[in-house]
């Protein structure tokens, strides 16, 4: 069964939006098979955001994501990668569709409430990267 990785970002955890965000995924019939609150290490974040290394926002992104605890979710379901991307909305909350998580809860392109894997292949890589920090059996 297809899986994807979601990170509820620091500002959304601080604003106590975890329950609301998880409910949105569940209302869309997706299964949350793992949920773990953790303070990300820079080492894991550098692997996770490797594709953005060298971009002007990279250092600030790593600092922000390691500033406070996040909620890491693994979701499972048919076509879950694309469904989650649709539910999350555009990376920039100002461009996100009304009703999407980033439209409702995003503050800026960096503080955009959630991260969701871009493809099935990237999801598999990201799930493996977070295994360094979070123990889950399957
Ligand atoms: P995320 O899904 O976590 O993946 C990469 C993140 O980089 C993205 O969400 C944004 O938070 C951030 N990002 C992407 N583009 C920009 C940008 N132009 N300026 C600042 N942050 C960005």
Nearest Cα residue to 88 out of 72, 63, 57, 112: 112
| From 57, 108, 122, mutation site for ligand 1 pocket: most ligand atoms within 8 A of C-beta | 57
Closest ligand 1 atom, CA of 65?
A: 3
| Residues tagged active-site | 115
* Tens digit of each residue's pLDDT (9 = 90 or more) over 48-64: 999 999 999 999 999 99
Over residues 72-89, mean pLDDT: 98
Question: Does the annotation list 28 as a binding residue?
Answer: no
* Tens digit of each residue's pLDDT (9 = 90 or more) over 28-41: 999 999 999 999 99
* Tens digit of each residue's pLDDT (9 = 90 or more) over 83-126: 999 999 999 999 999 999 999 999 999 999 999 999 999 999 99
Nearest CA, atom 3, ligand 1: 115
Q: Who's near 46: CB < 8 A, 6+ residues apart?
A: 53, 62
112 class by beta-carbon count within 10 Å (0-12 exposed, 13-18 middle, 19+ buried): buried
Predicted confidence band of residue 138 (pLDDT cuts 50, 70, 90): low
Six token digits for residue 86: 């649709």
Amino acid 135: pLDDT: 81
Q: Which domains does the chain have, with CATH numbers?
A: 3-130 (3.30.70.141)
């Amino acid at each position: 069964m297809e899986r994807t990785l979601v990170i509820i970002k620091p500002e959304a955890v601080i604003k106590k939006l975890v329950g609301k965000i998880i409910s949105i995924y569940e209302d869309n019939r997706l299964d949350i098979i793992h949920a773990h609150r953790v303070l990300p290490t820079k080492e894991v974040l550098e692997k996770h955001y490797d594709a953005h290394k060298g971009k002007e926002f990279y250092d600030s992104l790593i600092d922000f994501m390691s500033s406070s605890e996040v909620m890491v979710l693994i979701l499972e379901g048919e076509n879950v990668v694309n469904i989650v991307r649709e539910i999350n909305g555009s990376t920039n909350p100002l461009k996100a569709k009304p009703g999407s998580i980033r439209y409702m809860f995003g503050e800026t392109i960096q503080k955009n409430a959630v991260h969701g894997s871009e493809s099935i292949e990237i999801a598999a890589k990201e799930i493996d990267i977070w295994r360094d920090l979070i123990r889950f059996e399957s």
